Amino acid sequence: MAKSGRKVKKSYKLIIFYSLYIIFALFMSYVCINNFFKVKNINIKNGYLKSEYKALGKEYKVRNMINSETADEIKDIVNIDTVTKETKANVFKLAQTAEKRIKEGKTNYKIAYITFDDGPYYLTNKVLDTLKSKKVKATFFLIGRGKEKCYDNAGFDCTTMYAKEAAAGHTLANHTYSHALSFSPYLYGSTSEFINQVKKQEQLLLDKTGVKTNIVRFPGGSGSAGRLRTDMINNLKANGYGWVDWTAQDGDGGYVPSRDAAWNTFTSSINENIEVILFHDYADVTYSILGDAIDYLERNNYILLPLFYESVMVNK
């Protein structure tokens, strides 16, 4: 009895041992299989992202968006279409609140919208560098005619600059395709011709950047439209566009005798709580004061922002 009792005890121990062994083996198999699928999933995900990234790159290449100067911005371009769209929307929401508080006199902060007309130019590259180093976003009122060759560097295709501006997070805006004041006397001859030139430029910017513009600046300012001004404004509105003139400038649209003259014109024109500043990115004199102008505005409590459709400064 005693002997068989020990035997039973021994086999009982063995059963427990083997059971534990099987449970352990099953557990280890589970861990291995699970890890295998986890790794596989990650690989699939990375592979997918990689191919998606490649596809995006290809698409942008087709759109003529990559050249030696914009290649390093590809990451930002991808960002602009995904993350930054949301970020921008949030910034503009805050900016609207800020504008409201400024108008109600509830804050000491002010807002300045720096804008550049008639571009892009080759000099725009340097302007973008300054804006980047100062961490400032601006607005570019762009034209299209003759931009396949930069006016200030015929060997460079200025239409590649639209994408570079968009990639850097600036606002792209519409200054009509031909600008007309210098190219064609007919822009302000009829409202339909004016709207056609706006639409042509809208399509060009959409093709080159995927950005749909919704802010217009009249070439020469809205006053240049003369007797058709109201009719043109109504038509812009009917087409979903806002429009904006300017409240400050450095005079670079005309003859500026010196850097000091530009600086004096600029500083004496800054006197509103919300300013829309007119510059031209073809003007060396403006490029020469740009860094200082940004510092001056920030010292004087201005927040520098890119324009957006909902801004109180955009007429609609």
What SS3 class is residue 215? strand
CB of 144 to Zn ion, least distance (A): 13
What SS3 class is residue 262? helix
Nearer to Zn ion, 99 or 118 (CB): 118
Nearer to Zn ion, 119 or 306 (CB): 119
Q: Are strands 139-142 and 171-174 parallel, antiparallel or unpaired?
A: parallel
CB of 175 to Zn ion, least distance (A): 6
What 8-state DSSP symbol labels residue 254?
A: S
As a whole number of angstroms, the distance between CA 144 and CA 179 comes to: 8
Q: Which stretch binds Zn ion (CB under 5 A): 75-83, 214-222, 235-243, 262-270?
A: 214-222
Q: Which stretch binds Zn ion (CB under 5 A): 70-78, 122-130, 199-207, 216-224?
A: 216-224
CB of 74 to Zn ion, least distance (A): 30
Classify residue 58 as exposed, middle or buried by CB count within 10 Å of its CB (0-12, 13-18, 19+).
Answer: exposed
The token pair that represents 157 in the structure block: 């295709």
- The helix-helix angle for 284-299 and 259-269 (nearest 10°) equals 40
CB of 38 to Zn ion, least distance (A): 58
CB of 218 to Zn ion, least distance (A): 8
Contacts with Zn ion in 83-112 (CB under 5 A)? none
Asked if 219 touches Zn ion (CB under 5 A), the answer is: yes
Nearer to Zn ion, 115 or 159 (CB): 115
Nearer to Zn ion, 169 or 219 (CB): 219
As a whole number of angstroms, the distance between CA 138 and CA 113 comes to: 7
From residue 107, alpha-carbon distances to 71, 214, 224 in Å are: 41, 29, 35
Asked if 193 touches Zn ion (CB under 5 A), the answer is: no
Nearer to Zn ion, 118 or 281 (CB): 118
Binding mask 110-149 for Zn ion (x = CB under 5 A): -------xx-------------------------------
CB of 82 to Zn ion, least distance (A): 33
As a whole number of angstroms, the distance between CA 99 and CA 277 comes to: 16
As a whole number of angstroms, the distance between CA 172 and CA 308 comes to: 10
The number of residues that bind Zn ion (CB under 5 A) is 3
Nearer to Zn ion, 143 or 168 (CB): 143
As a whole number of angstroms, the distance between CA 247 and CA 277 comes to: 6
Q: Which stretch binds Zn ion (CB under 5 A): 60-68, 100-108, 156-164, 211-219?
A: 211-219
Residue nearest Zn ion by beta-carbon distance = 117
As a whole number of angstroms, the distance between CA 274 and CA 239 comes to: 26
Give how far the C-alpha of residue 100 lies from the chain's centroid of Cα atoms, to the nearest Å: 23
Nearer to Zn ion, 70 or 286 (CB): 286
Q: Which residues bind Zn ion (CB under 5 A)?
A: 117-118, 219
